[in-house]
């Protein structure tokens, strides 16, 4: 059996949850077993996971706020009871908090940064990203149980047959060791790690007040905005928008980098993007070596033109 942590946010499933459930259903199909989704906390429509391949859906409605020991303990107990061999988690912030604890509690191996379906289910062998996207590793589990943490957006929605979606309820059996408190969440845009499209700008924009055109481009694309490290260090944009090695790592379908030179520390956080567009006035900018499409030109002229062209395209 494959057990998937089906993370929710304000009662709704995250997109990365659907991706993880489909991944789990695909693994289950390979292994000739079934996929069970574990939903913890308030959830408007747990049955929604059936269309993504969940045969069983276990809902722990009294889970409360996310606390990694409590959630991992409960998930490990369910995994043990149901004989789960693979425990699948989307590598969100909460998913990553869960993975290591879960591996110990479930007596499992842990393979993180997974970017493909397993090559084999027994022994569980799977490709993962390493060296900040500069290397690929085939990793094999040597344990009877394995926790797999997926990079969100890296695998996409695998094709699965709908599952029966048998709904069961369960109680919390894990114990919390910390007290989660207040959350502050930027409203509106999709969080960077989950965003399919990201528009990012760097020092080439010259001043904080020039971000209007970046936001206009992002709005047309339905994209989330980001920035380079120097820009967050100067204070033009909040640290929460910094993408790169020491910032947030992203894996969108489309990444548009405006006035960012493409230092290796920046690329380490964005090279998981499927398609990269670099816009830079300097034809020697290293980003042009990492990009799929490049525009050599003044961002203040290019970006408004691109926004207009996109408006026409979407009209």
- How does strand 35-40 pair with strand 109-114? unpaired
Q: Whole-number minimum distance, CB 228 to another protein, in Å?
A: 13
How many residues in the shown chain lie near another protein by CB under 8 A?
96
Check residue 112 and report its DSSP letter.
Answer: E
Q: Is the distance from CB of 174 to CB of 73 less than 8 angstroms?
A: yes
Instruction: Determine if 185 is a binding residue for another protein (CB under 8 A).
Output: yes
Q: Smallest Cα–Cα separation from 156: which of 256, 251, 33?
A: 251
Q: Smallest Cα–Cα separation from 36: which of 59, 16, 63, 13?
A: 59
Instruction: Determine if 286 is a binding residue for another protein (CB under 8 A).
Output: no
- The residue range among 37-45, 89-97, 158-166, 198-206 that interacts with another protein, by the rule CB under 8 A, is 89-97
Residues between 193 and 212 with contacts to another protein, criterion CB under 8 A:
193-194, 197
Phi then psi for residue 201, to 5 deg, are -135, 160
Angle at alpha carbon of residue 302, lines to 297 and 308, rounded to 5°: 165
Beta bridge partners of 278: 257, 294
The encoded tokens of residue 278 equal: 């670099």
Residue 43 or 257: the one with the smaller Cβ distance to another protein is 257
Instruction: Determine if 186 is a binding residue for another protein (CB under 8 A).
Output: yes
Instruction: Determine if 226 is a binding residue for another protein (CB under 8 A).
Output: no
Instruction: Determine if 290 is a binding residue for another protein (CB under 8 A).
Output: yes
Residues between 150 and 169 with contacts to another protein, criterion CB under 8 A:
none
Instruction: Determine if 180 is a binding residue for another protein (CB under 8 A).
Output: yes
Instruction: Determine if 100 is a binding residue for another protein (CB under 8 A).
Output: yes
Residue 144 or 167: the one with the smaller Cβ distance to another protein is 144
Instruction: Determine if 15 is a binding residue for another protein (CB under 8 A).
Output: no
Question: Distance between the two ends of the chain, CA-based, in angstroms?
Answer: 47
Residue 165 or 294: the one with the smaller Cβ distance to another protein is 294
Distance CA 55, CA 276 (A): 37
Instruction: Determine if 140 is a binding residue for another protein (CB under 8 A).
Output: yes
């Amino acid at each position: 059996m494959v057990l998937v942590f089906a993370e929710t946010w304000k009662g709704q499933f995250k997109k990365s949850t659907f991706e993880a459930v489909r991944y789990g259903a695909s693994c289950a199909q390979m292994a000739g077993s079934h996929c069970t989704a574990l939903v913890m906390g308030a959830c408007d429509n747990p049955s929604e996971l059936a269309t993504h391949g969940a045969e069983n859906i276990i809902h722990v409605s009294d889970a409360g706020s996310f606390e990694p020991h409590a959630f991992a303990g409960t998930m490990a107990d369910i995994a043990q009871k149901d004989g789960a061999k693979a425990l699948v988690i989307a590598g969100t912030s909460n998913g990553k908090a869960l993975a290591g604890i879960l591996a110990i509690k479930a007596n499992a191996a842990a393979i993180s940064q997974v970017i493909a379906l397993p090559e084999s289910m027994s022994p569980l062998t799977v490709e993962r990203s390493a060296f900040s996207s500069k290397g690929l590793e085939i990793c094999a589990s040597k344990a009877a149980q394995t926790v797999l943490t997926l990079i969100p957006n890296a695998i996409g929605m695998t094709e699965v047959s709908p599952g029966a979606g048998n709904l069961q309820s369960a109680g919390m059996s894990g114990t919390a060791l910390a007290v989660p408190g207040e959350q502050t969440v930027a409203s509106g845009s999709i969080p960077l790690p989950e965003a399919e499209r990201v528009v990012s700008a760097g020092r080439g924009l010259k001043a904080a007040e020039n971000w209007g055109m970046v936001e206009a481009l992002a709005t047309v694309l339905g994209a989330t905005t980001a920035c380079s490290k120097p820009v967050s260090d100067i204070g033009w944009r909040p640290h929460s928008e910094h993408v790169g090695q020491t910032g947030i790592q992203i894996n969108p379908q489309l990444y548009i980098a405006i006035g960012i030179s493409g230092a290796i520390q920046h690329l380490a956080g964005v090279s998981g993007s499927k398609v990269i567009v670099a816009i830079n006035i300097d034809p020697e900018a290293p980003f042009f070596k990492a990009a799929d499409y490049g525009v050599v030109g003044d961002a203040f002229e290019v970006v408004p033109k691109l926004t207009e062209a996109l408006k026409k395209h979407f009209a």
